[in-house]
Chains A and B, each alone.
Chain A
Amino acid sequence: MNATSPLYGMLAEFDDVDRLVEAAGRTRDAGYRKTDAYAPFPVHGLAEALGMKRTAMPLVILLGGILGGLAGYSLQYWVSVIENPWNVGGRPLHSWPAFIPVTFETTVLGASLAGVLGMLALNGLPTPHHPLFAVPQFERASRDGFFLFIRATDPKFDPVAVRQFLQDLHPREVIDVPQT
């Protein structure tokens, strides 16, 4: 680390996924909160080990679906009953059973759009630039690398203590991540 680039955080690489999960749990127990872990596939229990209890995704998708369904039904009601009342064979203008298919489709559309856009928004994507991308070893995170990260803004962060803590978890290597 040099004076021109302050530390963004510290990264430790582990040999396999089980060690990473164990290390994540110990990091949480040691009181670190601004942490993350990186693995080339979704690891069951890894985010939980870091202290992430639940996500807002189901709620976002539910709200998207409700909004889509309401929008679809009210559109049809407004068009068929208020704006353009058109008598077809004496059928009632508010033929609700005929409005169900479109309502179903707009519900699914609303929920899916909310799911995808919500997932991206909650994950803070797109993020074209990130200090971790400057770490040469980090490209293994999309191949066979397992990383644990503690951010410098963590209240308990102290470069010497964190390095010692990470070393005690028996990683392959501990890497300083400069702020870029």
Chain B
Amino acid sequence: MVKEEEFAELRQGKGRWKKDLDEARSKVPLRRNRFSTVSDLEIEGLYTPEDIKHLDYFQKIGFPGQYPFTRGIQPSMYLGRLWTMRMFSGLGGPEETNQRFKYLLEHGETGLSVAFHFPTLMGYDSDSSMAKGEVGKCGVAVDTLKDMEILFDGIPLDRVTTSMTINPPASILLAMYIVAAEKQGVNREQISGTIQNDMLKEFIAQKTLMLPPNPSIRLIVDTVEFCTLEVPRWNTISISGYHIREAGATAVQELAFTLADGIAYVEACIDRALDIDRFAPRLSFFFDAHIDFFEEIAKLRAARRMWARIMKERFGSKSSRSWMLRFHTQTAGVSLTAQQPYNNVVRTTCEALAAVLGGTQSLHTNSLDETYAIPTEEAAFIALRTQQVLAEETGVANTIDPLAGSYFVEALTNRIEEDAWEYIHKIDELGGMVKAIDRGYPQAEIAESAYIYQQQIDSGEKTLIGVNKYVTDHPPIPIWRMDPAIEKKQLERLKAVKTTRNNDRVRTHLERIRRGAEGDENLMPLIIDAVREYTTLQEICDVFRQVFGTYQDPGMF
């Protein structure tokens, strides 16, 4: 840290540099009049100790594993264990996806992540009229416990951790996973993983919708309450900025809306009289790693510092485990281009590096072909190897939070934090995130940012290689296609399950869920009993839809 008396000298030095700069630009003009991040945050050409002169190391940065966790949540970070390499995968039916899981594990993946097809995401079975044309296309079809058993066949569920990107029907997929583990002889205290289970960001951005906000939150709090007591190693909500960002938000909006969603969930759990220091350690987060390298690192460092403060000061939680913001990162799908697709490997590498320097706990790297379809095995292989090269060759994991103390990175971390607090205060003024969503506030902010960005690309103000600069033709690349036989097989299996199960028991379980939903009993035990009898996903969701009503996207633009 620079002492006060040294700043005079520093300012003089900067003045001299500015003069030199003016002279230099009179000969060779600067590349741009204004430099800004991909989120359009204006940045200076040079940062000095003056930009961080109020930064108190102990209060704002500190040590890894200590409040406010700016430098990371564990004392050892990657010196102890590398981040979990967790590739988001799901294609066709459960057999195909099981094969892909095993392929990735064989090649060094260290955690699983399930991508479900749209009907499952939205609470419909593969035989629903709503599922026409969609089965197995955008992820794996899971209709019943049978599919879940096949999905994890030969994969010991006490030895892997599994993340499931599932929202409106999260409690049902968690129930299926618990019972699939049971059938392997693994009890629910031994399993570990994550359900996304974050409906607020669905209303804001990802838009897999089923029930209105309030019953959606009730189901989420049911899973939090149940897991806190019975599935202690399960991450109950993955509070997600990823989809908010991909929908067009800036880095600051992603950060602010995600933390505001987190605040809403903590409040809902407290309203249920749950003990904050029992449930909060199992809340996790999920962020995007976009293409603007330093902005992303600063965002992730700011996120940890802000959540620690929110948990400690706003909610008065006592346990340091509640203060830690643990997160998964995915590189930015939206930054990839269909043009010259091999360039996507380079983009993903830079983004993955930002995630690592930002201290992520787990990481998915996108494949080069994802602007066309679900990744081929070869493309997923390269994406996984990208992480392994970063982890084991480049040396970036050999020291903790290496960018701490950078005048620029610390100043940017402060700036992003300040701007994000402003949004959080605004949402507090609107009465919290549920009310803000009702008013369309975050949705409109994101749509505005998305439109501005598109205009910047169209005008060439922002560069996208292969799209608005260095444009060339490119030969087609191999892409994954779904074998149409997969849909037929899925429908046949579902039909067989429905005819061989005990349908009287299924009806009884559905009736119990209905009564439970009409009252205020925790629905998780009832759902677990129902899926054990091969009740389908949609049968349970239909009961939810009847009892709670549905939610329709307002369709603003």
- Is the pairing of A and B real? no
Residues of A within 8 A of B (CB): none
Residues of B within 8 A of A (CB): none
